[in-house]
Structure 1
């Protein structure tokens, strides 16, 4: 694997296991599925094993979507058990979100690698600005809209989440707070969206990555063993167990934090993750 020895491979494996715990915790705390943590760390891991730059970012995103499937399901069940999930919002967004995921998967098949980083930076920093500097008076309305606008929001959430490898919490949290919903209810409802996005999203990245196997045989062979399209099974299997174990702890922490503390923590986290990919864009 690109010159890595056994000790370096063990270090990478241990790092992925640790990242699974962090991702699971954040899935519970922020309702984000953990993908915003997984994508930057997977990027470094795949860089170390020599995955070509042209496919590295989509491989990270597809693997992230596969990893957050079980984490999202567990986080959603924990939030729903507390009665904090708005099921009506989930029903309205279900079909539009899936449509957005399908569009995102098609885009991922043909888009240049830099597009994924640009989307990550712009959206993460926009959300961070709202969370860190926003005021209660910053509202799009008193209630979430109905009809076509709500469907449009759902489609955009599905599309951008698929291009970032996250569970949709980043966008749905932002939208719901702009319409007067509490951060706690927004986080809880977002955990349900993560389930709707991660499953078809992972399947879409398997589809999107098949052409890469012919252009870059090393992706499916030496550098990323057991890769299906843009999903690395090795990466997924190492991260999933600790993600599942730690997600309920994150849910408990979220419900113990004040509204402002939760918003500030989420904002600084997004600011940091966006900076990581801005650096990657500049020095790629």
Structure 2
């Protein structure tokens, strides 16, 4: 059982994950995964399984956070459910494949992959790189392929997929607030399929913590969800009222610091 200080840390990162999920449509996992990596390491959980536990637990929190987030966005008419329906089949296939691949890889490889991903996202945010909005949403085949790629990568890094779906949707000429709201909804099937995969692949693994089910560590899940579901709606409110560009740059600096800290720990 984690100590009181770790419970407080889970609650604190849940607050941050909820706000970020509602604000940017990214699911919150981009903060939760590195936070869980450091917290699990400090708790002395089995090192060879720490990244898988962080990824699986992160996706489990997104199941709950994404619901709170997309409901808040949907009240403002900012979710395109037609896009959600067309991309979900590919999302499910890609997510299940991603969780299986992650279970076969080492913690060191997954950590390195996640660090590269953090640097990519943070630089993209700092430079405000946006694809040119010059086309419409693709047809069934294109959406299935896109969903498969988003689901695969999202489950390799334990996120809700918003860092890919938001740029993709804006590239397809979808207004930014609608893209964020729709991305928050798309995070739900990504997380559900990922949780199923991380549960199934973790059940066969020995020496996992006693309070885990597969690759999902229950104390962290409970602590983060307890606050993230409450704060996600405020993040969605901020997304419709504050200059998101400025907040994204602040968030990008935080990601750079987190990625650098994880990179330093590898040496």
**TM-score by shorter chain over 0.5:** yes
Aligned to 2:72: 78
Counterparts of 1:224-243 in structure 2, within 5 Å, are: 224-243=209-228
**184, 187, 190: which one aligns with 1:194:** 187
**Aligned counterparts of 1:18 and 1:80: Cα–Cα separation in 2:** 26
* 1:102 lines up with 2:87 in the alignment: no
**192, 197, 209: which one aligns with 1:204:** 197
CA contact (8 A) 1:97 1:154 kept: yes
Greater CA deviation, 167-176 or 76-85?
Answer: 167-176
Counterparts of 1:95-174 in structure 2, within 5 Å, are: 95-134=89-128, 138-139=131-132, 141-174=134-167
**Aligned counterparts of 1:74 and 1:255: Cα–Cα separation in 2:** 16
**Aligned counterparts of 2:145 and 2:255: Cα–Cα separation in 1:** 24
* TM-score normalised by the chain length of structure 2: 0.91
**219, 234, 244: which one aligns with 1:249:** 234
**Aligned counterparts of 2:128 and 2:36: Cα–Cα separation in 1:** 31
Aligned to 1:5: none
Displacement of 1:256 in angstroms is 0.8
Displacement of 1:14 in angstroms is 1.0
**Aligned counterparts of 1:96 and 1:154: Cα–Cα separation in 2:** 4
Displacement of 1:246 in angstroms is 1.0
Displacement of 1:135 in angstroms is 5.4
Q: Gaps (5+ residues) in structure 1?
A: 2-7
**236, 246, 265: which one aligns with 1:261:** 246
CA contact (8 A) 1:184 1:259 kept: no
* Runs of 4+, deviation exceeding 6 Å: none
Displacement of 1:122 in angstroms is 2.6
Q: In structure 2, the residue corresponding to 1:167 is in which secondary structure?
A: coil
* TM-score normalised by the chain length of structure 1: 0.86
Q: Alpha-carbon deviations, 1:69-107, whole Å to 9, x = none?
A: 111111111101100112222111100000001101211
Displacement of 1:140 in angstroms is 7.2
Which structure would you say has the larger Rg?
Answer: 1
Q: How many residues are aligned here? A: 267
Q: Alpha-carbon deviations, 1:113-164, whole Å to 9, x = none?
A: 223223322333323333322456x427422322433321110100111111
Q: Alpha-carbon deviations, 1:158-195, whole Å to 9, x = none?
A: 01111111111111112223334333222111110111
CA contact (8 A) 2:96 2:196 kept: no
Q: Please tell me the root mean square deviation across aligned C-alpha atoms, in Å.
A: 2.1
**25, 35, 39: which one aligns with 2:19:** 25
Q: Gaps (5+ residues) in structure 2?
A: none
